[in-house]
């Protein structure tokens, strides 16, 4: 994509009502489907099944916490987020997790507290990702695990047929702090004094999922541009012109995982 890597965009809070929380929860659950196999491998590596205390930083509507709950129902799960609508949704939908309103850059927990501290699609949204990782390390017990399960890098996205207009608008509407965070994971973990394994979550999406992805992105753009925008009409044309079988889209999504020693 054409924006300079590292360039910061204006960040708007995206969940501003209960309705938004429902809408974004559906989106987070779809995203989870696309990265499920690698995430399960990471859960096995961290022995998540045996963990007694697990913290998710930036837990949003609780989609990841609900998945973890089905894998390890005995663990004490804590979700931290600073969005009250997302937290409320998470509290209502999940069976038992503790929801805490707080800032991931300054975690309200004592040192060496959790067996596993993880996040998912989170670092790209924060102002100071290094501060977050250092905090994740601090609150994790020695021998415990710190994991960023999925962080994308929009600079490596490949689309066929390519549409610069679509890509530019997508970045605008995304309004993440750093859409190029994926390539920085290794360096961030290193600076947080963690020996990291970095890997790729992504695989090539099937035609059905590519169309789901485009439709979800189109929806987001419609929300961002307004239903009557002329730009939206052009994007609709792009969406409708090519059949799923002709389309290709690849988004590199990275993970980073480390043990606190």
Min dist CB 97 to ligand SAM, Å, is 12
Calculate the dihedral angle through the C-alpha atoms of 90, 50, 124, 253, rounding to the nearest 10 degrees: -110
Per-residue binding string, ligand SAM, 94-123, x by CB under 6 A, is: ---------xxx--------------xxx-
How big is the site for ligand SAM, counted in residues (CB under 6 A)? 18
Min dist CB 252 to ligand SAM, Å, is 17
Based on the shown chain and the rule CB under 6 A, indicate whether residue 248 belongs to the binding site for ligand SAM.
no
Tell me the two tokens of residue 8.
């910061």
The rounded distance, in Å, linking the Cα atoms of 254 and 191 is 18
3-state SS, residue 82: coil
Please, which residue, 82 or 248, has the CB nearer to ligand SAM? 82
Under 8 Å between Cβ of 39 and 71: no
Per-residue binding string, ligand SAM, 72-91, x by CB under 6 A, is: ---------xxx--x-----
Tell me the two tokens of residue 92.
């209502």
E strand or H helix that includes residue 56 = strand 53-57
Min dist CB 103 to ligand SAM, Å, is 4
- Which residue reads 């930083």 in tokens? 57
The rounded distance, in Å, linking the Cα atoms of 237 and 11 is 28
Please, which residue, 51 or 150, has the CB nearer to ligand SAM? 150
Based on the shown chain and the rule CB under 6 A, indicate whether residue 60 belongs to the binding site for ligand SAM.
yes
Min dist CB 160 to ligand SAM, Å, is 26
Pairing of strands 248-250, 158-160: antiparallel
Min dist CB 82 to ligand SAM, Å, is 4
Angle CA 172–120–249, to nearest 5: 55
Interface with ligand SAM by CB under 6 A: which range of 41-49, 60-68, 140-148, 163-171?
60-68
List contacts with ligand SAM (CB under 6 A).
28, 58-60, 63-64, 81-83, 86, 103-105, 120-122, 125-126
């Amino acid at each position: 994509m054409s924006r300079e890597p590292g360039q910061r965009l204006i960040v708007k809070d995206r969940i501003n009502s209960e309705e938004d929380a429902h809408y974004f929860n559906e989106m987070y659950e779809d995203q989870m489907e696309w990265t499920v196999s690698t995430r399960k491998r990471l859960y096995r590596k961290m022995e998540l099944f045996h963990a007694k205390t697990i913290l998710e930083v930036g837990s949003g509507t609780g989609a990841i916490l609900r998945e973890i709950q089905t894998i390890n129902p005995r663990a004490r799960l804590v979700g931290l987020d600073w969005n009250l609508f997302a937290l409320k949704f998470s509290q209502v939908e999940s069976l038992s997790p503790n929801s805490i309103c707080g800032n991931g850059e300054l975690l309200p927990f004592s040192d060496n507290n959790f067996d596993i501290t993880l996040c998912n699609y989170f670092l790209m949204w924060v102002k100071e990702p290094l501060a977050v990782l250092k905090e994740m390390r601090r609150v994790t017990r020695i021998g415990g695990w710190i994991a960023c399960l999925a962080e994308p890098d929009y600079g490596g996205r490949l689309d066929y047929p390519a549409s610069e207009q679509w890509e530019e608008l997508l970045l605008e509407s995304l309004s993440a702090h750093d859409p190029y965070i994926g390539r920085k994971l290794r360096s961030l973990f290193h600076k947080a004094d963690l020996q990291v394994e970095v890997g790729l979550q992504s695989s090539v999406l099937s035609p059905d999922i590519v169309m789901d992805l485009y439709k979800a992105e189109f929806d987001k753009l419609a929300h961002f541009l307004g239903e009557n925008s002329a730009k939206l009409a052009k994007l609709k044309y792009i969406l409708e012109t090519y059949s799923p079988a002709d389309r290709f889209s690849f988004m590199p999504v990275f993970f980073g995982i480390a043990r606190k020693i």
